[in-house]
Amino acid sequence: MIELHPNVVSLAYLIAAVLFIMALRGLSSPESSRTGNYCGMLGMLIAVTTTALGPEVESYGWIFIALGIGAVIGIAIARNIAMTAMPQLVAGFHSLVGMAAVLVAGAAFANPGAFGLVAPGGEIYVASRVEMALGAAIGAITFSGSVIAFTKLQGLVSGAPVSFKGQHPLNALIGLAIVGLIVYFCFDQQPAVFWTMTALAFVIGVLIIIPIGGADMPVVVSMLNSYSGWAAAGIGFTLGNDALIITGALVGSSGAILSYIMCKGMNRSFFNVILGGFGGDSSAATATGADDRPVKQGSAEDAAFIMKNAGSVIIVPGYGMAVAQAQHALRELTDELKDEGVKVSFAIHPVAGRMPGHMNVLLAEANVPYDEVFELEDINNEFQTTDVVLVIGANDVTNPSAKTDPTSPIYGMPILDVEKARTVLFIKRGMASGYAGVQNELFYRDNTMMLFGDAKKMVESIIRNL
């Protein structure tokens, strides 16, 4: 068997770590995201190959079998997954990282000698107990929480918050019990202590996610991303693998920063999201969302005439565009408008869709030029001088109630100021509320025209009329 020198292993892990940092840097912008992905893939290839050639590996049989199974599953998922299902796919991947942490910690506890964790007295090193306890606890929370997030995003269960009397005290009690058991485990390595702590971590993972509604799901996805990173770092300490420690720390810290950005985008604190999640599923909103106030309804022909005679148009995509897969038709629409001499821009809210960057990825898939896509803080002042805003399924992030109604659950959330435009064209299937379960006051404004129907079909109809 090939065995690398320790210095070569350290150098390879260092190169992999640099590539992972470059990957994160590349993924910070749509323009460099492809390069970032390539850097991440190359870094992972180097890390995996280096680990496989390490002195700890005694046989490659099971390793190749596992790699083969994983490759087949990964390729199948990558080829068939729809962009609208990316949030639940990410949640599913997070659950796998969490369970891997639990299994590695469990294996290390069951056979510490194989991991070199046994002290001269025959007991597991105290530092190793801390590492495996934290890895198992964080991994268990990540696994069960990600499973719940997946079922909500996939629609297998209601996206509405689930709460009950005494929920917060129960969560606090279980959390304190987990911390207490981790401390006790440092002094007494009885199996009952370790596995009770792990079981409670699985339970708390469920309890902290079920009260979170659909509108907070972008924060949950990024939060679980952070958890999975720290779980991976815990595995790295248990295995003594520098690459895993560095990678886990990068993912954990970047996920935490992303969670902060998402919370800032909704003007909500992280603890406010965890302790008081809001928002229901769309089906629930459909039943209670609309009222009897009249709205101005238009047709694709009306929309085409208005936009053709406009000087500037800002397009605001949301989850409705993702569901209808309308991004390619939207790109064709922008080309038609540009041919008519119309200036076209895209406005993206930081929590549009069901995960961070969802809209940016869809627009990049349709080859929308990067310099035409703007974030909220860069374009919000432009709406008041814009002739037409075309909103496609972006509900909560355009709701003026966030600024005017103190009783609204989205009050204080920064929104795109689309209501300031001369004309707002709003493509939507019906009058249902957004994912937060709040009716959009924009529907009833005098300068808003509702275009009811499937987003893709409506855009295609507008193109034909142009």
pLDDT in tens, 247-304: 899 999 988 888 887 777 666 676 766 655 555 444 444 444 456 778 899 999 999 9
pLDDT digits (tens, 9 = 90+) for 219-248: 788 888 888 899 888 888 888 888 889 989
Q: At what angle do helices 126-154 and 86-110 cross, to 10 degrees?
A: 150
The count of other CB atoms within 10 Å of the CB of residue 119 is 12
User: 3-class DSSP state for residue 91?
Assistant: helix
Please identify every residue annotated as catalytic: 396
Q: What's the half-sphere exposure (Cβ side, CA atoms, 13 Å) at 260?
A: 6
Place of tokens 């008081």: 276
pLDDT at 441: 87
Which of 320, 460, 456, 343 has the alpha carbon at shortest distance from 391? 320
CA 221 to CA 33: how far, in whole Å? Answer: 19
Q: In which band, very low, low, confident or very high, does the pLDDT at 435 lie, cut at 50, 70 and 90?
A: low
Instruction: Give the H or E element holding residue 448.
Output: strand 448-452
Comparing 26-40, 95-109, 126-140, the range with the smallest average pLDDT is 26-40
Residue 384 to residue 366: CA distance in whole angstroms: 28
3 state DSSP class of 314: strand
Identify the pLDDT of residue 350.
79
Residue 124, C-beta contacts closer than 8 angstroms, at least 6 positions apart: 109, 112, 117, 118, 132, 189
First to last CA, the chain: 67
Distance separating alpha carbons of residues 92 and 145, to the nearest angstrom: 10
Between helix 191-209 and helix 86-110 the angle, nearest 10°, is 170
Token couple for 51: 């680990």
Which residues, at least 6 apart from 305, have a Cβ–Cβ distance to it below 8 Å? 465
Looking at the whole model, is its pTM more than 0.85?
no
DSSP assigned state of 244: H
In sequence order, what are the beta bridge partners of 427?
392, 451
CA distance 244 to 230: 10
Lowest pLDDT segment from 88-102, 325-339, 346-360: 346-360
CA distance 138 to 100: 11
- Is 90 exceeded by the pLDDT of residue 342? yes
Q: How many CB atoms lie within 10 A of CB 371?
A: 8
Residue 427, pLDDT score = 93
> Helix/strand/coil (H, E, C) string of 59-87?
CCHHHHHHHHHHHHHHHHHHHHCCHHHHH
Each residue of 195-209: pLDDT tens digit? Answer: 999 999 999 999 988
